[in-house]
Amino acid sequence: MTRICLLAVALLAATPALAFDANKLGQGGPLPLTDLDGLIAQSAALKQEIAAALTAAKKTADDVICSGNRFPSQWVNLGGMRAAPYTCEFSGKWLIIEATTQSRACL
């Protein structure tokens, strides 16, 4: 199994990546800003921008609801999960978080 996984990784690395457009998933859904903590922590600039927006809006991360595209149930292992871009509303101002998702495990 490990050999197949390594072969698949080698083949994928040798071919150009195809873009997956999460906007075409067709379903949106809400999620709290706190669900994006792991993503936000990857960028110091984004973390500072969000902290400033929360302070200006006099809100906590728990008060901010974002939206993201949802994988439908046909995606057996991803059904219900959200995907970037995420849109968050801070008292009349909008923040759109775009991210690149990469799979690091072979299933």
Two structure tokens written together for 69: 């595209």
pTM of the model: 0.66
- pLDDT tier at 52 (50, 70, 90 boundaries)? very high
Which DSSP helix (H) or strand (E) runs through 51? helix 44-57
- For the chain, the C-alpha Rg in angstroms (whole number) is 17
Do 65 and 31 touch, CB atoms closer than 8 A? yes
Two structure tokens written together for 79: 């059904």
Reported as a single tens digit per residue, the pLDDT across 76-90 is 777 777 788 899 998
d(CA 53, CA 78): 31
